């Protein structure tokens, strides 16, 4: 009976420890995601650095370039960007696709999908 109780206690602590690790915010990689025109001109680019910094450039609207940087964090597959200073960034929440080959976001009716370079 003691061994059954001991096994149950070990299972409980093992399961709760695994759940705590899964809920931690992670910053596992450096990555460059972008979208290009047919001619190869980069229109939107998101660079994530393992130190927690990011750089985002959006040239999709001629004459209105968005160029911001700041910090980022990741919870599961959700990436949240926190910019320094202004609030020019409309797409601050991105979802990492399985395999880490692309990120996607939307703002109103504009949908973005950036592939990994």
Q: Express each pLDDT in 69-111 by its tens digit.
A: 999 999 999 999 998 876 667 778 999 998 888 999 888 888 8
Compute the Cα dihedral for 80, 53, 30, 57 and give only its sign: positive
pLDDT in tens, 12-37: 555 444 444 444 445 557 889 988 88
Question: Token pair of 28, please?
Answer: 């596992």
Domain layout of the chain by residue ranges: 27-116
The pTM of the whole model exceeds 0.85: no
Which tens digits make up the pLDDT trace of 39-74? 778 889 999 999 999 999 988 888 888 889 999 999
Domain 27-116 has CATH 3.30.200.20: no
- Quote the CA–CA distance of 57 and 35 in Å, as a whole number: 11
What pLDDT does 23 receive?
43
- The reported pLDDT for the residue numbered 14 is 54
Q: 62 in helix, strand or coil?
A: coil
């Amino acid at each position: 009976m003691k061994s059954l109780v001991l096994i149950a206690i070990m299972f409980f602590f093992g399961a709760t420890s695994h759940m705590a690790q899964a809920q931690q915010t992670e910053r596992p990689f450096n990555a460059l995601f972008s979208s290009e025109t047919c001619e190869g001109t980069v229109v939107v680019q998101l660079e994530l650095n393992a130190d927690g910094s990011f750089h985002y450039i959006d040239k999709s609207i001629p004459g209105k370039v968005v160029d911001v940087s700041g910090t980022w964090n990741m919870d599961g597959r959700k990436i949240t960007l926190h910019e320094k200073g202004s609030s020019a960034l409309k797409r601050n929440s991105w979802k990492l696709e399985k395999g880490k080959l692309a990120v996607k976001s939307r703002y109103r009716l504009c949908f973005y999908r950036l592939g990994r370079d």
